């Protein structure tokens, strides 16, 4: 197949939501329809020791939440689909924000009972800033929840979206009868049996036919006709161009746990969702159909397979074809590298691939050469833009709880910090190590992974830091900088790359420092 046709048949998207809206369950069911798995894992049921396919880290199975983005690929109706299942919990938002740089479209999952929640608002804001096309999936319709119109209003108001329903529920909760698919003009009846792969679907071209009354009863049929009439009057008709530009968001209703409404979502998705898109670099806009390969690292994961201590850099391919055993330029290090076993993913199951195309996610075995945001090219000097790095908000001293394992602890900290889950600082004054994270739950994850993946134990001590500020040594006044270093020596540390960092213990301290040393430049991100 030609490069053009391979690009045409690819869809790379992320699934985002507030925790517990059913994101991971939806991912499972999409895989089920794609024939990629035979049966879905019960994500929440700890009695059954089958976790969800995308939650493959031990801590995720125990807690029933996703803490790292998983990459899953499968084929459906001759379309190659790459799903990035992201963590919903706000303490792992950094991983999610980075992942959004690697997707071409997004599915937003909303719980019918809880409606739009805080984390969803933040994530949708990021998508809107980048004009990422979004489809909304309103989940858990087999439970009692908010009225469909009330939900659609809430989505428009809280998320600032312009919605167009592509399907509509017939009843809800105990009275849930099924869904009328506006896009395909058919009725999908709900049997409540999650073991069935596909529910009964009946084509109904004209909603006013008496056949509808026979199927769902007079009251439900009359009600549905009124609601669909209201939908056509109130909401704009679907327009693919508007959707692709990020100005119109199709809405589907369903119940992922019961496999309901998922096929409709998937069928419509492969028809309307964007193929891989061009991406902006620091020198030019790069198009997917260019013959020269380029891609960027958006995630690093240590110990994908704890037995082999392997570390993988996840690369999103932007242009050209990526071939195994071919030398490519690592732009930041300015050196050529070639990869003998690039992996394609299916959660933790990996397969070696010879050729990958734009839109694909490839895992490269890494011995420490990569960091998040690195660009690989065929030889062109350029960097892809827009990979965010966040200033930590929580800080703790990390101590070795087992002196016999200090080597393992050092290695574990070093590798986990490269994943971008947290940042390591070493105090100038006494060499003590400090870990800074965006979310407090990260400390638990680090502690758990150090013990279970590196056999190292650590303990934490609280440290009162309000903000970590990177000191710009090059552009600061030399005399003022020397005085600043002398006076603030107790609050100075180096990050993993050896850059100088100032710990301010309050916003007042920060303001006073900035007014006393106006020519010492402080930055809140490490990339300045």
Which of these ranges, 69-78, 150-159, 466-475, 508-517, has the smallest mean pLDDT?
A: 69-78
Residue 238 DSSP code: P
Cα dihedral 349→437→427→433 (10° resolution): -50
Report angle CA 85, 88, 90 to the nearest 5 degrees: 140
Q: How many H helices and E strands in the chain?
A: 14, 31
Closest to 199 (Cα-Cα) out of 182, 183, 181: 181
- In which band, very low, low, confident or very high, does the pLDDT at 431 lie, cut at 50, 70 and 90? very high
pLDDT top residue among 215 and 465: 465
- Judged by average pLDDT, the poorest of 208-217, 360-369, 394-403, 474-483 is 208-217
Look at the block and give the residue holding tokens 């995720």.
60
Assign 38 a pLDDT band (cuts: 50, 70, 90): very low
More confident residue, 59 or 25: 25
How is residue 79 written in tokens? 């379309």
Q: What pLDDT sits at residue 127?
A: 86
| Helix residue ranges per DSSP H, 160-217 | 210-216
- Read off the pTM: 0.75
Residue for token digits 């929580």? 394
Pair type for strands 134-139 and 249-253: parallel
CATH of domain 279-377: 3.40.50.300
Return all residues near 312 (Cβ < 8 A) that are at least 6 apart.
Answer: 300, 301, 304, 343, 363, 364, 365, 366
Confidence of residue 50 (pLDDT cuts 50, 70, 90): very low
CB 26 within 8 A of CB 14: no
Query: Above 60 in pLDDT, residue 472?
Result: yes
Q: How confident is the model at residue 384 (pLDDT cuts 50, 70, 90)?
A: confident
Is residue 26 within 8 Å of 15, Cβ to Cβ? yes
The runs of H, that is alpha helices, within 340-440 are 406-418
pLDDT for 528:
52
Q: Is the pLDDT of residue 194 over 60?
A: no
CA–CA distances in Å: residue 449 to residues 102, 252, 438: 26, 38, 17
- Residues carrying CATH 3.30.70.3280, the chain: 394-523
Q: What is the pLDDT of residue 51?
A: 47
d(CA 526, CA 327): 30
Q: Would you say residue 48 has pLDDT above 50?
A: no
Mean pLDDT of 87-116: 77
126 CB-near residues (< 8 Å, 6+ apart): 97, 100
Residue with tokens 């949708």: 124
Q: Please give the residue that has the higher pLDDT: either 38 or 327.
A: 327
Mean pLDDT of 85-111: 74
Span 184-211, mean pLDDT? 68
The C-alpha angle 52, 148, 81, rounded to 5 degrees, equals 35
Residue (of 249, 258, 357, 188) closest to 40 by Cα position: 258
User: Residue 515: its pLDDT value, please?
Assistant: 92
Note the pLDDT of residue 181: 86
Q: Residue 347 region, left (φ>0) first, then alpha (ψ -120 to 50), else beta? A: left
d(Cα 182, Cα 251) in Å, to the nearest integer? 11
Neighbours of 418 (CB within 10 A): 20
Return the percentage of the chain with pLDDT > 90, whole number: 38
pLDDT higher for 215 or 104? Answer: 104
How confident is the model over 508-528, as pLDDT tens digits?
A: 999 999 999 999 998 887 665
The phi, psi pair for 229, rounded to 5°, reads -60, -45
Output the pLDDT for position 125: 84
User: Mean pLDDT, the chain, as a whole number?
Assistant: 82
Q: How confident is the model at residue 52 (pLDDT cuts 50, 70, 90)?
A: low
The per-residue pLDDT for 486 is: 92
Confidence band (pLDDT; 50, 70, 90) for 126? confident
Name the residue among 114, 51, 115, 48 with its Cα closest to residue 85.
Answer: 51
The better pLDDT of the pair 280, 345 is held by 280
Residue extent(s) of CATH 3.40.50.300 domains in the chain = 3-74+87-272, 279-377
Higher pLDDT: 158 or 88? It is 158
Rounded percentage of the chain residues whose pLDDT exceeds 70: 84
pLDDT band at 37 (very low <50, low <70, confident <90, very high): low
Per residue in 449-468, pLDDT tens? 888 888 899 999 999 999 88
3-74+87-272: CATH class: alpha beta
Lowest-confidence segment of 46-60, 300-314, 384-398, 413-427 by average pLDDT: 46-60
User: First vs last Cα of the chain: how many Å apart?
Assistant: 43
For residue 317, which phi and psi values (nearest 5 degrees)?
-85, 125
Of the candidates 174, 123, 96, 143, the residue with the CA atom closest to the CA atom of residue 253: 143
- Asked if the 394-523 domain carries CATH number 3.30.70.3280, the reply is yes
């Amino acid at each position: 197949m030609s490069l053009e046709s391979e690009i045409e048949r690819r869809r790379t998207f992320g699934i985002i939501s507030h925790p517990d809206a059913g994101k991971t369950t939806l991912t499972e069911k999409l895989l089920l329809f794609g024939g990629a798995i035979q049966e879905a894992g019960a994500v929440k049921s700890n009695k059954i020791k089958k976790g969800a396919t995308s939650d493959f880290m031990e801590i995720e199975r125990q807690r029933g939440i996703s803490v790292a983005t998983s990459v899953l690929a499968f084929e459906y109706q001759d379309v190659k689909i790459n799903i990035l299942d992201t963590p919903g919990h706000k303490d792992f938002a950094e991983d999610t924000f980075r992942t959004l740089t690697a997707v071409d479209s997004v599915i937003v999952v909303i719980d019918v009972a809880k409606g739009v929640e805080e984390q969803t608002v933040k994530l949708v804001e990021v998508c809107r800033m980048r004009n990422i096309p979004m489809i909304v999936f309103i989940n858990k319709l087999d439970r009692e929840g908010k009225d469909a119109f009330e939900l659609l209003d809430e989505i428009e108001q809280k998320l600032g979206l312009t919605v167009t329903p592509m399907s509509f529920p017939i009843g809800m909760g105990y009275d849930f009868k099924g869904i009328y698919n506006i896009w395909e003009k058919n009725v999908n009846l709900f049997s409540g049996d999650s073991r069935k792969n596909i529910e009964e679907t009946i084509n109904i071209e004209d909603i006013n036919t008496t056949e509808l009354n026979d199927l769902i009863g007079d009251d439900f049929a009359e009600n549905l006709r009124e609601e669909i009439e209201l939908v056509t009057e109130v909401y704009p008709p679907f327009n693919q161009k508007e959707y692709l530009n990020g100005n119109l968001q199709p809405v589907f209703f369903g119940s992922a746990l019961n496999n309901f409404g998922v096929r409709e979502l998937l069928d419509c998705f492969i028809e309307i969702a964007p193929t891989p898109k061009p991406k902006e670099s620091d020198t030019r806009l790069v198009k997917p159909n260019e013959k020269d390969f380029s891609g960027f690292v958006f995630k690093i994961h240590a110990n994908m397979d704890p037995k082999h201590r392997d570390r993988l850099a996840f690369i999103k391919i932007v242009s050209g074809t990526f071939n195994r055993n071919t030398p490519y330029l690592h732009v930041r290090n300015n050196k050529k590298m070639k990869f003998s076993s690039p992996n394609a993913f299916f959660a933790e199951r990996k397969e070696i691939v010879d050729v990958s195309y734009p839109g694909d996610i490839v895992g490269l075995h890494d011995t420490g050469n990569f960091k998040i945001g690195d660009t690989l090219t065929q030889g062109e000097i350029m960097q892809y833009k827009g990979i965010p790095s966040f200033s930590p908000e929580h800080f703790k001293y990390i101590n070795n709880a087992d002196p016999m394992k200090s080597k393992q602890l050092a290695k574990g900290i070093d590798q986990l910090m490269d994943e971008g889950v947290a940042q390591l600082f070493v105090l100038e004054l006494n060499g003590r190590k400090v870990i800074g994270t965006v979310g407090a739950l990260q400390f638990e994850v680090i502690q758990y992974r150090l013990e279970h993946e590196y056999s190292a134990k650590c303990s934490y001590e609280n440290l009162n830091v309000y903000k970590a500020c990177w000191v710009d040594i090059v552009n600061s006044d030399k005399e003022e900088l020397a005085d600043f270093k002398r006076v603030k020596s107790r609050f100075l540390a180096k990050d993993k790359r050896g850059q100088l960092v100032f710990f301010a213990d309050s916003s007042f301290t920060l303001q006073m420092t900035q007014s006393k040393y106006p020519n010492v430049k402080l930055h809140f991100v490490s990339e300045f």
